[in-house]
Protein backbone atom coordinates (compact mmCIF):
# COMPACT_ATOMS: atom_id res chain seq x y z
CA UNK A 1 0.00 0.00 0.00
CA UNK A 2 2.80 2.40 0.89
CA UNK A 3 4.58 1.79 -2.42
CA UNK A 4 1.49 2.78 -4.43
CA UNK A 5 0.81 5.91 -2.36
CA UNK A 6 4.37 7.20 -2.54
CA UNK A 7 4.49 6.52 -6.29
CA UNK A 8 1.25 8.49 -6.75
CA UNK A 9 2.62 11.40 -4.75
CA UNK A 10 5.84 11.36 -6.76
CA UNK A 11 4.31 11.61 -10.23
CA UNK A 12 1.41 13.82 -9.13
CA UNK A 13 3.61 16.50 -7.58
CA UNK A 14 5.89 16.56 -10.63
CA UNK A 15 3.64 15.73 -13.57
CA UNK A 16 0.85 18.03 -12.43
CA UNK A 17 2.99 21.10 -11.90
CA UNK A 18 2.33 24.46 -13.50
CA UNK A 19 3.83 27.74 -12.38
CA UNK A 20 4.93 31.13 -13.51
CA UNK A 21 6.75 34.32 -12.76
CA UNK A 22 6.05 38.00 -13.24
CA UNK A 23 8.47 40.75 -14.22
CA UNK A 24 8.24 44.50 -14.66
CA UNK A 25 10.11 46.76 -17.05
CA UNK A 26 9.87 50.45 -16.21
CA UNK A 27 11.19 52.38 -19.19
CA UNK A 28 12.54 55.93 -19.02
CA UNK A 29 9.58 56.80 -21.22
CA UNK A 30 6.72 55.61 -19.00
CA UNK A 31 4.40 55.06 -21.94
CA UNK A 32 6.63 52.25 -23.15
CA UNK A 33 6.75 50.44 -19.81
CA UNK A 34 5.22 47.05 -19.03
CA UNK A 35 4.91 46.39 -15.33
CA UNK A 36 3.19 43.00 -15.61
CA UNK A 37 5.05 40.55 -17.83
CA UNK A 38 3.66 37.11 -16.98
CA UNK A 39 5.61 34.00 -17.98
CA UNK A 40 3.92 30.63 -17.42
CA UNK A 41 5.56 27.23 -17.70
CA UNK A 42 4.65 23.68 -16.73
CA UNK A 43 5.65 20.03 -16.90
CA UNK A 44 7.56 18.66 -18.84
CA UNK A 45 9.67 21.85 -18.62
CA UNK A 46 10.59 22.42 -22.24
CA UNK A 47 11.45 25.98 -21.32
CA UNK A 48 12.96 26.84 -24.69
CA UNK A 49 9.40 26.61 -26.06
CA UNK A 50 8.05 29.12 -23.52
CA UNK A 51 7.79 32.48 -25.30
CA UNK A 52 6.92 35.91 -23.93
CA UNK A 53 6.87 39.50 -25.14
CA UNK A 54 8.87 42.27 -23.50
CA UNK A 55 9.22 45.99 -24.27
CA UNK A 56 12.46 47.25 -25.74
CA UNK A 57 11.93 50.79 -24.41
CA UNK A 58 12.60 51.99 -27.95
CA UNK A 59 9.28 53.27 -29.07
CA UNK A 60 6.40 50.80 -29.21
CA UNK A 61 8.55 47.99 -30.51
CA UNK A 62 8.48 44.79 -28.48
CA UNK A 63 10.66 41.72 -28.66
CA UNK A 64 9.71 38.07 -28.38
CA UNK A 65 11.97 36.06 -26.10
CA UNK A 66 11.99 32.54 -24.74
CA UNK A 67 13.31 30.89 -21.61
CA UNK A 68 16.47 28.82 -21.81
CA UNK A 69 16.77 25.05 -21.47
CA UNK A 70 14.98 21.78 -22.07
CA UNK A 71 14.63 19.66 -18.93
CA UNK A 72 11.92 17.33 -20.17
CA UNK A 73 14.12 14.23 -20.29
CA UNK A 74 14.79 14.01 -16.56
CA UNK A 75 11.24 15.08 -15.63
CA UNK A 76 9.56 12.61 -17.99
CA UNK A 77 11.91 9.81 -16.94
CA UNK A 78 11.04 10.44 -13.29
CA UNK A 79 7.29 10.48 -13.94
CA UNK A 80 7.50 7.38 -16.14
CA UNK A 81 9.23 5.44 -13.36
CA UNK A 82 6.59 6.58 -10.88
CA UNK A 83 3.70 5.54 -13.15
CA UNK A 84 5.13 2.10 -13.91
CA UNK A 85 6.03 1.56 -10.25
CA UNK A 86 2.43 2.35 -9.30
CA UNK A 87 1.03 0.00 -11.95
CA UNK A 88 3.36 -2.82 -10.92
CA UNK A 89 2.54 -2.37 -7.23
CA UNK A 90 -1.15 -2.47 -8.07
CA UNK A 91 -0.77 -5.63 -10.17
CA UNK A 92 1.41 -7.30 -7.52
CA UNK A 93 -1.20 -6.56 -4.84
CA UNK A 94 -3.90 -8.22 -6.96
CA UNK A 95 -1.70 -11.28 -7.49
CA UNK A 96 -0.84 -11.55 -3.79
CA UNK A 97 -4.51 -11.44 -2.79
CA UNK A 98 -6.27 -13.45 -5.48
CA UNK A 99 -3.60 -15.63 -7.08
CA UNK A 100 -1.40 -16.68 -4.16
CA UNK A 101 -1.11 -20.31 -5.36
CA UNK A 102 -0.14 -19.28 -8.87
CA UNK A 103 2.35 -16.79 -7.42
CA UNK A 104 4.23 -19.49 -5.50
CA UNK A 105 3.99 -22.13 -8.22
CA UNK A 106 7.45 -23.33 -9.30
CA UNK A 107 8.93 -20.39 -7.36
CA UNK A 108 8.61 -18.33 -10.54
CA UNK A 109 6.48 -15.58 -9.06
CA UNK A 110 8.79 -14.71 -6.14
CA UNK A 111 11.84 -14.72 -8.43
CA UNK A 112 10.19 -12.33 -10.89
CA UNK A 113 9.04 -10.13 -8.02
CA UNK A 114 12.55 -10.05 -6.58
CA UNK A 115 14.17 -9.10 -9.91
CA UNK A 116 11.58 -6.39 -10.64
CA UNK A 117 11.98 -4.96 -7.12
CA UNK A 118 15.75 -4.70 -7.56
CA UNK A 119 15.30 -3.03 -10.97
CA UNK A 120 12.80 -0.49 -9.65
CA UNK A 121 15.05 0.31 -6.69
CA UNK A 122 17.86 1.15 -9.09
CA UNK A 123 15.55 3.15 -11.37
CA UNK A 124 14.18 5.17 -8.46
CA UNK A 125 17.71 6.08 -7.39
CA UNK A 126 18.77 7.09 -10.90
CA UNK A 127 15.51 8.86 -11.73
CA UNK A 128 15.37 10.80 -8.47
CA UNK A 129 18.99 11.89 -8.78
CA UNK A 130 18.50 12.99 -12.39
CA UNK A 131 15.32 14.88 -11.54
CA UNK A 132 16.97 16.57 -8.55
CA UNK A 133 19.65 17.88 -10.91
CA UNK A 134 17.02 18.83 -13.50
CA UNK A 135 14.96 20.70 -10.91
CA UNK A 136 18.04 22.64 -9.85
CA UNK A 137 18.53 23.71 -13.48
CA UNK A 138 14.84 24.62 -13.82
CA UNK A 139 15.10 26.89 -10.80
CA UNK A 140 18.08 28.68 -12.33
CA UNK A 141 16.44 29.03 -15.74
CA UNK A 142 13.24 30.46 -14.23
CA UNK A 143 14.92 32.74 -11.72
CA UNK A 144 13.44 36.20 -12.40
CA UNK A 145 16.85 37.85 -12.13
CA UNK A 146 18.20 35.48 -14.78
CA UNK A 147 15.24 36.06 -17.08
CA UNK A 148 15.62 39.83 -16.81
CA UNK A 149 19.11 39.49 -18.26
CA UNK A 150 17.56 38.24 -21.49
CA UNK A 151 15.77 41.53 -22.12
CA UNK A 152 17.53 44.21 -24.13
CA UNK A 153 15.72 46.98 -22.22
CA UNK A 154 17.26 45.76 -18.97
CA UNK A 155 20.75 46.31 -20.33
CA UNK A 156 20.18 50.06 -20.30
CA UNK A 157 20.71 51.75 -16.98
CA UNK A 158 17.98 54.31 -17.65
CA UNK A 159 15.35 51.55 -17.45
CA UNK A 160 14.33 49.76 -14.25
CA UNK A 161 13.73 46.03 -14.42
CA UNK A 162 12.41 44.27 -11.34
CA UNK A 163 11.07 40.82 -10.44
CA UNK A 164 7.47 40.98 -9.23
CA UNK A 165 6.74 37.34 -8.46
CA UNK A 166 8.95 34.26 -8.37
CA UNK A 167 7.68 30.78 -9.24
CA UNK A 168 6.55 28.59 -6.33
CA UNK A 169 8.26 25.22 -6.56
CA UNK A 170 7.41 23.61 -3.24
CA UNK A 171 5.53 20.78 -4.98
CA UNK A 172 8.55 20.07 -7.18
CA UNK A 173 10.78 19.93 -4.11
CA UNK A 174 8.28 17.50 -2.62
CA UNK A 175 8.45 15.32 -5.72
CA UNK A 176 12.21 14.90 -5.27
CA UNK A 177 11.71 13.95 -1.62
CA UNK A 178 9.08 11.37 -2.58
CA UNK A 179 11.43 10.05 -5.25
CA UNK A 180 14.16 9.24 -2.75
CA UNK A 181 11.58 7.91 -0.27
CA UNK A 182 10.40 5.53 -2.98
CA UNK A 183 13.98 4.38 -3.47
CA UNK A 184 14.31 3.67 0.27
CA UNK A 185 11.00 1.78 0.33
CA UNK A 186 11.78 -0.34 -2.71
CA UNK A 187 15.34 -1.04 -1.57
CA UNK A 188 14.11 -2.02 1.89
CA UNK A 189 11.52 -4.30 0.30
CA UNK A 190 14.23 -6.29 -1.48
CA UNK A 191 14.99 -8.35 1.63
CA UNK A 192 11.34 -9.25 2.26
CA UNK A 193 10.86 -10.29 -1.36
CA UNK A 194 14.11 -12.26 -1.31
CA UNK A 195 12.86 -14.33 1.63
CA UNK A 196 9.99 -15.53 -0.57
CA UNK A 197 12.34 -16.91 -3.23
CA UNK A 198 13.83 -20.39 -3.46
CA UNK A 199 17.29 -18.88 -3.15
CA UNK A 200 16.64 -17.94 0.47
CA UNK A 201 15.05 -21.28 1.40
CA UNK A 202 17.83 -23.27 -0.31
CA UNK A 203 20.41 -21.17 1.52
CA UNK A 204 18.73 -21.95 4.82
CA UNK A 205 18.68 -25.69 4.01
CA UNK A 206 22.33 -25.60 3.06
CA UNK A 207 23.23 -23.87 6.33
CA UNK A 208 21.18 -26.40 8.31
CA UNK A 209 22.84 -29.34 6.52
CA UNK A 210 26.27 -27.87 7.19
CA UNK A 211 25.54 -27.47 10.89
CA UNK A 212 24.17 -31.00 11.08
CA UNK A 213 27.27 -32.44 9.42
CA UNK A 214 29.55 -30.49 11.72
CA UNK A 215 27.58 -31.68 14.75
CA UNK A 216 27.73 -35.34 13.68
CA UNK A 217 31.43 -34.95 12.91
CA UNK A 218 32.14 -33.79 16.44
CA UNK A 219 30.21 -36.73 17.87
CA UNK A 220 32.08 -39.26 15.76
CA UNK A 221 35.44 -37.68 16.36
CA UNK A 222 35.08 -37.50 20.16
CA UNK A 223 37.05 -39.66 22.55
CA UNK A 224 35.50 -43.06 23.27
CA UNK A 225 37.15 -44.14 26.48
CA UNK A 226 35.70 -47.66 26.42
CA UNK A 227 37.28 -48.53 23.09
CA UNK A 228 40.43 -46.56 23.74
CA UNK A 229 41.39 -48.25 26.94
CA UNK A 230 41.64 -51.91 25.81
CA UNK A 231 43.07 -51.14 22.40
CA UNK A 232 45.56 -48.40 23.05
CA UNK A 233 46.13 -48.38 26.81
CA UNK A 234 49.05 -49.98 28.58
CA UNK A 235 48.19 -53.13 30.46
CA UNK A 236 50.87 -52.71 33.02
CA UNK A 237 49.71 -55.37 35.54
CA UNK A 238 49.76 -58.09 32.90
CA UNK A 239 53.21 -57.18 31.68
CA UNK A 240 54.74 -57.29 35.11
CA UNK A 241 53.09 -60.62 35.81
CA UNK A 242 54.85 -62.26 32.86
CA UNK A 243 58.22 -61.00 34.05
CA UNK A 244 57.77 -62.44 37.52
CA UNK A 245 56.77 -65.78 36.06
CA UNK A 246 60.09 -66.00 34.24
- pLDDT tens, residue by residue, 61-101: 999 999 999 999 999 999 999 999 999 999 988 988 888 77
Of 106-115, 200-209, 237-246, the least confident: 237-246
What whole-number distance in Å separates Cα of residue 216 and Cα of residue 80?
56
The alpha carbons of the chain give a radius of gyration, in whole angstroms, of 37
pLDDT at 231 over 60: no
Average pLDDT along the chain = 83
| CATH code linked to domain 1-197 | 1.20.140
Rounded CA gap, 41 and 166, in Å? 12
User: What pLDDT, in 10s, does the model give residues 180-190?
Assistant: 999 999 999 99
Among left, alpha and beta (phi > 0; psi -120 to 50; other), residue 59 is: left
Give 150-171 pLDDT, tens digit per residue: 999 999 999 999 999 999 999 9
pLDDT at residue 240, as a whole number:
41
3-state secondary structure of 203: helix
Domain range list for the chain = 1-197
Most confident of 4-8, 236-240, 242-246: 4-8
Q: How many Cα atoms are found within 13 Å in the side-chain-facing hemisphere of 75?
A: 23
- Report the residue count for the chain: 246
Q: Taking Cα atoms as reference points, which of 20, 32, 21 lies closest to residue 160?
A: 32
Using 50, 70 and 90 to split pLDDT, how confident is the model at 219? low
Amino acid sequence: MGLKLFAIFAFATCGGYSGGLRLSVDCANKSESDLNIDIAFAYPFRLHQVNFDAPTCEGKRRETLSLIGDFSSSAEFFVTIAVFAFLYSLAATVVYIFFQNKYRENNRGPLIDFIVTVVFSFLWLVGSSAWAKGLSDVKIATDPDEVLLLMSACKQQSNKCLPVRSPVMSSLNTSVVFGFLNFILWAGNIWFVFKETGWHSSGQRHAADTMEKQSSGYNQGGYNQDSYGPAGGYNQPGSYGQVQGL
